[in-house]
């Protein structure tokens, strides 16, 4: 049936495309399934569930406002039970991004995009500060190591690549001072000891 012919209405492929009706039970099952597979903030879970509600409204004529109410009830219940905790999500995500070499500015922006509140973001960044002497330097080193720039550059003339390496760190949200410390480091070991993370 790859020649453009439509699937018969009773076929399994056509049935798969038909979204399920958004009932409270179905939305709860979707939420549980999603949280088993992905770490999520309340806002990102809300977006996933609202897409289901909107598809159901288009396909079955269900009330989108009623579905939105069910979504809010599920989120409130999951928050009360501890299944959904923005602070825990923010802390875990901040640690993961920090290990990958994302600056505090980048972490803040990514968490805000996931709908995490400013207070939870500040707490997550505070956790990073507790875990490393200089979390920004630690993240900049992780980024430089991953991208093989600055002191991690294999061979070649580091001085010739200085401006390019500074720019790469700057684009990631690191300050000029932090970028300069990494790029001009004489000893990786000393800098890593300074970062303490």
Helix (H/G/I), strand (E/B), else coil: 150: helix
For residue 182, give its domain range.
135-195
- The verdict on residue 109 lying in a domain is yes
pLDDT of residue 2: 46
Name the pTM for this structure: 0.83
Residue-wise burial string across 120-134, b where 16 or more C-beta atoms lie within 10 A, e elsewhere: bbebbbebbeeeeeb
Q: What residues contact 117, with CB distance under 8 A and at least 6 apart?
A: 86
Compute the average pLDDT of residues 30-41: 96
The residues, ordered by sequence, that sit 6+ positions from 133 with a Cβ below 8 Å of its Cβ are 194, 195, 196, 197
Residues 70 and 45 in one domain: yes
* pLDDT above 50: residue 69: yes
The answer to whether residues 139 and 176 belong to one domain is: yes
Helices (H), the chain: 12-17, 24-37, 42-60, 64-81, 86-100, 104-113, 118-131, 135-147, 162-171, 176-183, 188-195
Is residue 139 located within the same domain as residue 191?
A: yes
Lowest-confidence pick of 10-19, 39-48, 98-107, 135-144: 10-19
User: Mean pLDDT across the chain, nearest whole number?
Assistant: 91
Query: Measuring CA to CA, which residue among 142, 127, 149, 130 is closest to residue 192?
Result: 142
Residue 88 has pLDDT above 50, yes or no: yes
**pLDDT at residue number 53:** 96
Q: Is the pLDDT of residue 7 over 90?
A: no
Instruction: Tell me if 146 sits within 8 A of 104, measured CB to CB.
Output: no
Residues 162 and 119 in one domain: no
Instruction: Give 10 or 59, the one with higher predicted confidence.
Output: 59
Domain count, the chain: 3
pLDDT digits (tens, 9 = 90+) for 104-163: 999 999 999 999 999 999 999 999 999 999 999 999 999 999 999 999 988 778 889 999
Distance CA 100, CA 40 (A): 19
* 36 shares its domain with 63: yes
Residue 85 near residue 91, CB atoms below 8 Å = no
| Cα first-last separation, the chain | 58
Using CA atoms, how far apart are residues 80 and 103, in angstroms rounded to an integer? 32
């Amino acid at each position: 049936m790859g020649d453009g012919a439509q699937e018969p209405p009773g076929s399994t492929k056509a049935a798969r495309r038909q979204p399920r009706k958004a009932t409270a039970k179905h939305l709860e099952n979707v939420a549980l399934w999603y949280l088993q597979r992905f770490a999520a903030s309340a806002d990102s879970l809300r977006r996933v569930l609202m897409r289901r509600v909107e598809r159901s409204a288009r396909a079955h004529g269900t009330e989108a406002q009623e579905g939105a109410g069910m979504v809010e009830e599920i989120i409130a219940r999951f928050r009360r039970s501890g299944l959904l905790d923005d602070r825990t999500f923010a802390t875990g995500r901040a640690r993961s991004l920090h290990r990958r070499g994302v600056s505090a500015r980048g972490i803040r922006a990514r968490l805000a995009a996931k709908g995490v509140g400013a207070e939870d973001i500040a707490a997550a960044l505070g956790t990073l500060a507790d875990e490393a002497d200089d979390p920004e330097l630690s993240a900049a080193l992780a980024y430089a190591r991953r991208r093989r720039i600055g002191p991690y550059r294999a061979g070649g003339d580091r001085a010739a690549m200085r401006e390019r390496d500074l720019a790469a760190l700057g684009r990631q949200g690191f300050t000029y001072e932090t970028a300069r410390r990494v790029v001009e480091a004489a000893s990786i070991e000393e800098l890593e000891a300074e970062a303490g993370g």
